[in-house]
Amino acid sequence: MSTHTYDVVVIGAGPVGENVADRVAQGGLSAAVVERELVGGECSYWACMPTKALLRGGAALRAARQVPGAREAVTGDLDVVAVLRRRDSFASHWKDDGQVAWLEQVGVPLYRGHGRISSARVVEVTGEDGTTTTLNARCAVVVATGSGALVPDIEGLRRARPWTSREAAATSAVPGRLAVIGGGVVASEMATAFAALGASVTVLARDGVLPSAEPFAGEHVVESLRESGVSVRLGAEAVSVKRADDGTVSLTLTDGEQVEADEVLVAVGRTPNTRDIGLDTVGLTPGAWLTVDDTLRVTGEDGTPLDGGWLYAAGDVNRRVLLTHQGKYQARAVGDVIVARAKDEPVERGRWGRHVATSDERAVPQVVFTDPEVASVGLTAAAAEAAGLRIRVVDHDLAALAGSSLHAEGYHGRARMVVDEDRKVIVGFTLVGPDVAELLHAATIAVVGEVPLDRLWHAVPAFPTVSEVWLRLLEAYGR
């Protein structure tokens, strides 16, 4: 057994853990990270990058077919082997050499193995060979272990060896028939991807498609999925699943109907990776989400930080926002606050303090890479009303723009801004349409910066672009 001491020990070397360590190192403190799998985490190998690589080929082909001249140049369908090969490259062939080299470059030691908190400010790392290393943290331990796919208690489901998002992202072959349980982001994106790759896809969306988004977003996606041949079963729920000896899967629905498939993908939510990281040794519940204060310190049931305030949690594991970019944002905030406290510098709180993750509350940007794309930031109209805001909703048809008609023949989409009438600022913005993801950051700046509508009139969109929707929304709102 060996023992080492650092200012900060980070459990988890995904994008969040990497950014915490980097921020701490930039602040002049020493840091070490612990990782039991691949450095780079879920996003690099089983989520953001490989899944978007799976989706991009189909999106590019659809875009080409919507433009006369380009349409005539397209003579075939997707090359599935080439798509999977490109996916492999974006997943770095499930090797983390590049990520490890980056850690070495920034001077952050990596300890491979299972990290477990053994007492206050102490993490024990058990390697694959059984050897144990003790890491002492002078200032803080940060939990950045992320989340895993939730597999619900449906009869026979676990025995049927279902796909989760990991298996879907890393598959080496496209199944002939794919059944998807769920209707959220992962379910919608993977249904889009595998339909484009040639699978016959059935989506069992008990709670609807994209239920957390503006209702029109889910409606557009359902319409497009059905046009691409996907069977979208709204309100459908599986009560049992069975895999036969020949490998096929049978799902029984609540009404007794049978759905047959070659693979079943479960995409109904996430669960925290906290079951065996030693939470019990510091009075917390193993397997639970971690509650944090406004500086991302872990708190107990009474809402106060643990003795000494040494334990922090960033990313999915604190359940504030389960998105990679928000986790990295939290990582920057928590890294800065740890450095400030270590140096006895004041911690900046308040709405815009850099030591608090304020955008997690009402300014979260998100893109769903379906066809059409769904891009949103801030509150939906329903969420804004539930928050007690007096709002006005303004919609515009994206197809009515000169830029969208140039972008693609038959462009179909919609934009919505939600205005706080008391402050005359935008608190929510949603776009649905082809390639709207790249329009989102303008809305994010408007929401986060609380730019007054009167000021936005002076942000003139270039013509002819789809960004002209900003002018049309302001015109619809009036002066």
Q: Tell whether 347 and 460 lie within a shared domain.
A: no
Residue % of the chain over a pLDDT of 90: 92
Per-residue pLDDT, 356: 76
Whether the pLDDT of residue 353 is over 70: the answer is no
Per-residue pLDDT, 350: 63
- Tell me: the pLDDT tens digits for 452-471? 999 999 999 999 999 999 99
- Helix, strand or coil for residue 423? coil
Whether the pLDDT of residue 258 is over 80: the answer is yes
In a domain? residue 67: no
Which CA distances in Å does 315 have to 136, 140, 287, 319?
A: 22, 16, 15, 7
In a domain? residue 292: yes
Whether the pLDDT of residue 351 is over 70: the answer is no
Whether the pLDDT of residue 234 is over 90: the answer is yes
Whether the pLDDT of residue 348 is over 80: the answer is no
Mean pLDDT across 94-106:
96
Band of residue 306 on the pLDDT scale cut at 50, 70, 90: confident
Contact, 159 vs 65, CB < 8 A? no
Q: Tell whether 257 and 281 lie within a shared domain.
A: no
Q: Which of 212, 244, 268 is the last residue of a domain?
A: 268
Q: Tell whether 140 and 171 lie within a shared domain.
A: no
Q: Tell whether 28 and 120 lie within a shared domain.
A: yes
Tokens representing 435? 């390639």
Mean pLDDT across 99-110:
96
HSE value, Cβ hemisphere, 13 Å, CA-based, for 409: 9
Per-residue pLDDT, 347: 83
Per-residue pLDDT, 346: 85
In a domain? residue 110: yes
Mean pLDDT across 405-427:
95
**Residue 275's CATH number:** 3.50.50.60
Q: Tell whether 175 and 245 lie within a shared domain.
A: yes
Q: Tell whether 264 and 289 lie within a shared domain.
A: no
Q: Which of 268, 296, 313 is the last residue of a domain?
A: 268
Per-residue pLDDT, 464: 96
| Number of domains forming the structure of the chain | 3
In a domain? residue 251: yes
- Tell me: the pLDDT tens digits for 143-177? 999 999 999 999 999 999 999 999 999 999 999 99
Average pLDDT over the chain reads 95
Q: Tell whether 119 and 30 lie within a shared domain.
A: yes
Q: Tell whether 144 and 276 lie within a shared domain.
A: yes
Lowest mean pLDDT segment, chosen from 187-201, 248-262, 290-304, 390-404: 290-304
Per-residue pLDDT, 349: 72
Instruction: Evaluate the omega torsion of the peptide bond into residue 372 and state whether it is cis, within 30 degrees of 0.
Output: yes
C-alpha 21/C-alpha 5 separation (Å) is 15
Per-residue pLDDT, 362: 87
In a domain? residue 365: no
With a CB cutoff of 8 Å and minimum separation 6, the contacts of 458 are: none
In a domain? residue 193: yes
Mean pLDDT across 100-129:
96
Q: Pairing between strand 132-143 and 122-126?
A: antiparallel
Band of residue 245 on the pLDDT scale cut at 50, 70, 90: very high
The whole domain housing 246 covers 165-268
Tracing tokens 């929707």 back to the chain, one arrives at 469
Band of residue 361 on the pLDDT scale cut at 50, 70, 90: confident
Q: Tell whether 348 and 293 lie within a shared domain.
A: yes
Q: Tell whether 187 and 111 lie within a shared domain.
A: no
**Residue 401's CATH number:** 3.30.390.30
Q: Which of 359, 381, 410 is the last residue of a domain?
A: 359
Band of residue 217 on the pLDDT scale cut at 50, 70, 90: very high
Q: Tell whether 96 and 231 lie within a shared domain.
A: no
In a domain? residue 130: yes
Return the ∠ at Cα 270 (arms to 174 and 196), rounded to 5°.
25
Q: Tell whether 239 and 279 lie within a shared domain.
A: no
Per-residue pLDDT, 201: 98
In a domain? residue 79: no
Per-residue pLDDT, 150: 96
Whether the pLDDT of residue 354 is over 90: the answer is no
